[in-house]
């Protein structure tokens, strides 16, 4: 008598811990073997693109923070450089170095989170704690410069919000040394772990041909041996002045993706060190001759008409605005009054600066790129992050489109999972490093 064989349908997510609450996978199983996968996304859709089309260009930065919220500084840079391409402006050399420093710090925090979370989901809780400890070292640096840890809104069209703080170079080199110690510990705990190695080796494989066909970029593509990195293929900012390698895998499996990310963190740390060795000094001396006063006092004096000598005074600001005053201005902002907010001394101290400020922040009077369109790609933590913006000459975008790196990877996820065991889903999904804010947009 013939026996009937039926496959089993199993929902994994969106509330499954390994799915992070934002993805649903409908699995068709033959015992423990995966026969088919249906990927359902959209659980964190926040209409990023349409929201950006309703606000002025500068107001889009808080939205970009919430794309890949693990490495938001890279999102800031990508959006700003797309608008700058539309405007046809260049930014000061020092601002370029600052953008790269903050981007690479952000990339390391992203990779630490990815590897730490994947290790935890495979049972290596200690590694997760070590990785988060290292991420905390870097978040302290991010907070010192941007005033925030996650939703930073630091980059500006035409430059950055504020200059580096005094002593930041020494602090960064110390944090880099601390992070390297953690990476050595994690490597010893994971790479030499028989359980971790066997769970990652030859699971979630994808060929270079399939990865290219799906449009995959970033560490996922480089794990297959394809040396595509936007920083090398289409250098932007000052990446062409830095000496760094593009780590590659061979087999395109989960283990190779782990090795690629570990190697990329070391390359990012090397780039940060080189930036501090090369960064030019900003114009921070010889411009102000007056006294140092609080911003509120400057405002009060200006209201009373006591403006004599006020423009030469230096303003003390709260931590989120420190480094954005006149003595730092030329080093971190493009000299374009139609694009960049004036220094706080001018905003608070004379009517021309106040008018300039309000002309850039009032609806209908903000940054107005000429009619046209622009696409600009940067190397995000997960791959090529590109922004496409269409301008109709008004102060807000007519159309915004985002190329998120983990979207094509999720499209290829069934290719990586079909034929694998159900247990292999966890390390494979972890190696995707899916960030739903970026995926769903």
CATH architecture of 58-280+368-440: Orthogonal Bundle (1.10)
**pLDDT score of 130:** 94
Q: Does residue 34 contact residue 422 with C-beta atoms inside 8 Å? A: yes
Task: Let me know: does 238 contact 100? Beta carbons within 8 Å.
Answer: yes
Rounded distance between C-alpha atoms, residue 203 and residue 193, angstroms: 16
Tokens of 334: 């493009």
Q: Return the pLDDT at 318.
A: 67
Q: Which residue reads 């895998």 in tokens?
A: 249
For the record, the structure tokens of 208 come out as: 């270079």
d(CA 33, CA 15): 22
pLDDT tens digit sequence for 270-283 = 999 999 999 998 75
Which residue(s) pair with 293 in the sheet?
315
39 strand-pairing partners: 25
pLDDT of residue 285: 45
* The total number of residues written for the chain in this structure: 441
Nearest to 423 by CA among 40, 26, 34: 34
**Rounded to 5, what percent of the chain is helix, strand, coil?**
50, 10, 40
What does the pLDDT read at residue 283?
A: 58
Residue located via tokens 């606000």: 55
* Chain position carrying tokens 């069934």: 414
Q: Where are the domains of the chain?
A: 58-280+368-440, 292-361
Q: Is the peptide bond before 14 cis (omega within 30 degrees of 0)?
A: yes
pLDDT tens digit sequence for 231-260: 999 999 999 999 999 999 999 999 999 999
DSSP of 99-152 = HHHHHHHHHHHHHHHHHHHHHHHTT-HHHHHHHHHHHHHHHHHHHHHHS-SSS-
Question: How would you write the pLDDT of the chain (441 residues) with one tens digit per residue?
Answer: 567 777 888 898 788 888 878 889 999 998 889 999 999 988 888 899 999 999 999 999 999 999 999 999 999 999 999 999 999 999 999 999 999 999 999 999 999 999 999 999 898 899 999 999 999 999 999 999 998 888 999 999 999 998 998 899 999 999 999 999 999 999 999 998 899 999 999 998 999 999 999 999 999 999 999 999 999 999 999 999 999 999 999 999 999 999 999 999 999 999 999 999 999 987 544 455 567 777 777 777 777 777 776 766 777 776 666 777 788 888 889 988 889 999 888 888 788 888 999 999 988 888 999 999 999 999 999 999 999 999 999 999 999 999 999 999 999 999 999 998 998 999 999 888 888 888 888
Hey, what are 393's tokens?
A: 């000459």
Q: Which pTM does this prediction carry? A: 0.92
What are the E-state strand segments in 216-327? Answer: 292-294, 314-316
Q: For position 2, what pLDDT does the model report?
A: 64
């Amino acid at each position: 008598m013939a026996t009937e064989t039926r496959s089993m349908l199993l929902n994994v997510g969106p509330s499954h811990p390994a799915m992070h609450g934002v993805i649903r996978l409908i699995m068709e199983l033959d015992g423990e073997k995966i026969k088919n996968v249906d990927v359902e996304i959209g659980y964190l859709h926040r209409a990023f693109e349409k929201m950006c089309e309703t606000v002025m260009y500068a107001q889009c930065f808080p939205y970009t923070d919430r794309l890949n919220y693990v490495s938001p500084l890279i999102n800031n840079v990508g959006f700003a450089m797309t608008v700058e391409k539309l405007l046809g402006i260049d930014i000061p050399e020092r601002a370029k170095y600052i953008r790269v420093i903050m981007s690479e710090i952000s990339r390391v925090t992203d990779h630490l989170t990815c590897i730490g979370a994947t290790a935890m989901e495979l049972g290596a809780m200690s590694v997760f704690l070590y990785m988060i400890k290292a991420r905390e070292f870097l978040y302290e640096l991010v907070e010192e410069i941007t005033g925030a840890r996650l939703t930073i809104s630091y980059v500006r069209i035409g430059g950055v919000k504020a200059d580096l703080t005094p002593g930041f170079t020494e602090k960064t080199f110390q944090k880099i040394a601390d992070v390297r110690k953690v990476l050595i510990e994690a490597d010893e705990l994971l790479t030499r772990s028989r359980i971790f190695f066997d769970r990652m080796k030859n699971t979630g494989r994808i060929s270079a041909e399939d990865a290219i066909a799906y449009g995959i970029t970033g560490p996922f593509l480089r794990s297959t041996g394809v040396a595509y990195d936007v920083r090398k293929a289409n250098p932007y900012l000052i990446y062409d002045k830095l000496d760094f390698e593009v780590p590659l895998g061979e087999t395109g499996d989960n283990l190779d993706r782990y090795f690629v990310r570990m190697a990329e963190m070391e390359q990012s740390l090397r780039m940060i060190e080189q930036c501090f060795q090369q960064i030019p000094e900003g114009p921070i001396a010889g411009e102000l001759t007056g006294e140092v006063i609080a911003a509120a006092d400057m405002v009060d004096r200006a209201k009373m008409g006591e403006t004599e000598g006020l423009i030469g005074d230096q303003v003390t600001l709260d931590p989120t605005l420190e480094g954005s005053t006149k003595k730092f201005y030329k080093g971190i902002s493009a000299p374009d009054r139609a694009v960049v907010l004036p220094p706080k001394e001018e905003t608070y101290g004379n009517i021309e600066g106040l008018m300039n400020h309000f002309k850039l922040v009032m609806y209908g009077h903000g940054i107005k790129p000429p009619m046209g369109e622009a696409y600009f790609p940067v190397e995000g933590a997960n791959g090529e992050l590109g922004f496409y913006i269409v301008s109709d000459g008004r102060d807000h975008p007519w159309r915004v489109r985002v190329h998120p790196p983990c979207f094509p990877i999720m499209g290829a996820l069934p290719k990586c999972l079909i034929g694998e065991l159900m247990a292999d889903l966890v390390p494979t999904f972890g190696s995707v490093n899916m960030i739903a804010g970026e995926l769903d947009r």
